[in-house]
Structures are given as structure tokens and as C-alpha cells.
Structure 1
């Protein structure tokens, strides 16, 4: 990062160096070699105030000096985040925020497991219902009705459904003879219409 400078009138010279937020707050002279200037520009007084309040300006300088220059910007971001969290939660700081997020993850995981179990139970009920319908021949009937709707009229559909109530006595109502197709145990069989 580069320090902030204001161009001199007329375009000459290197310009006037603007004091960083740290030097403004600490009321000290800020030159072009200020260590804090690249990370706390003039308008970020509130951000530096939080870091200074939690860690102290001298400690912030020491921590920045301890890391390589390429990592200093990330170090300052971490200090700002920790300071903000500490001011919000003086007891736990950023650890409190992390604990809260972990708690949310646990709750969402539990909800996901519950929904997954309910979905599995629902699928089992659907499979059982399909098995029952297949055993009484309903699936063959409905499949034919879906793919060849012209084969069935309203009266024929009604008679086919009535067949289930007579199935256990092996009784086929006379009215079913008006249909082109009637179900046996597992298949559809053709029955000629009575035109007499």
C-alpha cells in the first residue's frame, strides 16, 4: 500500500502527505515512513480507534513488525476483526461468534437429518402403496388409461374400479362386458363387447 498524498498546486513536487487515522487520533506527526499509514488511511479513524482500545497502538505496531510485509495487510484485518468482536462481546470476543456459528451448524445438521428420515419414511409408504395397487391390478389399468385414454369412457372406468370389490369372490359384473378391457390378477385381458 502507498500512503495518501495530495498533489501540489501546479503539478509540481511530490505532494502533501495526509496524516493517517492512527496519527490523527494519537495527535502525532505522520510522515511518509509511518508504519500504520498504509493500513489505517485518514478516513478510518473509527477502525483504528477500536484496535487501539483493545490492543493499544504500541502493541499493534509490534504485531505488524513481527510479520513479513506481504502478510501485514491480512494481519491488520485480523486485528480489526478481533477488536470489533471483543468490543461487541468483551468476554468471548471472536470465540463467541465462532461458537454461535458452530451452534447454528449443529442445529441445521439436526434438522437435515430429521427431514431426511421423514423423506425415507414417506418413500417407504409410497413403495408399499404401489405394491398394493400392483397386486390388485390397478397399476395396469391406470397405465392403460393414461397412455390410451380413448380406450376408456367414463362408464367403463367406473365399472373397472367396481371390479375390485368383486375380485375376492371371482365375480365379474355383467356391466363390465361393455368395456374393451378388464383386469385379472396381474394383467389386462381383452373381452369382446356384447353388441346384442
Structure 2
């Protein structure tokens, strides 16, 4: 009997939005499905950035099957805007893109080191390409330099240059 009274009392808790807005949470509350009482920070962030009225309008304009995704997107953007008011999500994307470019350069360097190591093991020194990054031709088992004059020889020639 105690469990049934606790479950019925838990259903009486207002959603995070109604609690924050200090209003009674009705059975048909627009916010209740998306802002449960145990996630008050989610609504606080969304309200601070977008406002309750705008969020309510958005919920009503979006197709029911897309509402949860829309609210999750708003919550993510709101959190990003609070962390970085100028760039928000775009700032996070930019950081990730720079990280991908840095890792690509590191990968290119490691590939060039592998070419030098492989050529050194054969007592050959690979020549440096004039531009572009190295690629590995899995069919031929050779590295090559895209859009470069060095494509005619597997390791970029043998004129003794360095990468």
C-alpha cells in the first residue's frame, strides 16, 4: 500500500518547467513530456536562452513525432550558448573540425615517417613531394602523392631528398 501512495504522489510532482515557472502542472501540460521533474537544469537552460513562450510555440508547431528531438536540440544549443555565448554549437563544431585537421596532419606525418622507415630499411631515401599529402594504394601496396609529379615512382623517387 505504501508503494501505491508513493507512486501516486510522484505523479503529482510538477514538471521541471511548471516548477520553475511556479505554476500548477496540469495533466495536459505542454512541457511535462519533455522536461521531467528530475531534470530541472534542462528547462532552466532552455528557458534562459529561448524563453518559455518560444519553446511552447515551437513544441506546438513541430510534428508530435519530432518534438522530443526538437527539445533535445534546444537543450543542447542552450547548454552550448551558456558555455559560449557568442558561438554556441558552432564553436564546438569548429573545435572538432580543427581537431580533425590536426589529426589528419599527424596521420600524414606518420605516413611519411613510415615511408622513410620502409625506404631506409631498403637503403633508399624517398624524395620529398612538392605538395599534397601521401596516400596508400592498397592494391599495389605503395604510397603515392596525389596530384603530384612524384606519382610515377612508388616512394616519390630516389634523389635523396627528405619528406
TM-score using structure 1 length: 0.58
Unaligned runs of 5+ in 1: 1-5, 130-196
Which residue in the other structure is 2:159 paired with? none
Which residue in the other structure is 1:32 paired with? 27
**CA spacing shift, 1:16–1:74, aligned 2, 3 Å:** closer
Q: 1:61 aligns with which of 40, 45, 56?
A: 56
Which residue in the other structure is 1:103 paired with? 98
Which of structure 1's runs of 4+ aligned residues deviate more than 2 A?
A: 6-9, 15-18
Which residue in the other structure is 1:116 paired with? 111
Deviation of 1:71 after TM superposition, in Å, equals: 1.0
Q: What is the root-mean-square deviation of aligned Cα atoms in Å?
A: 2.3
Q: Specify the structure having the higher radius of gyration (Cα).
A: 1
Distance in 2, Cα, partners of 1:81 & 1:49: 12
TM-score using structure 2 length: 0.69
Q: How many correspondences in the alignment?
A: 122
Does residue 1:128 correspond to 2:123, yes or no? Answer: yes
* Bigger relative contact order, structure 1 or 2 (CA pairs below 8 A, ≥6 apart): 2
Unaligned runs of 5+ in 2: 125-163
Which residue in the other structure is 1:153 paired with? none
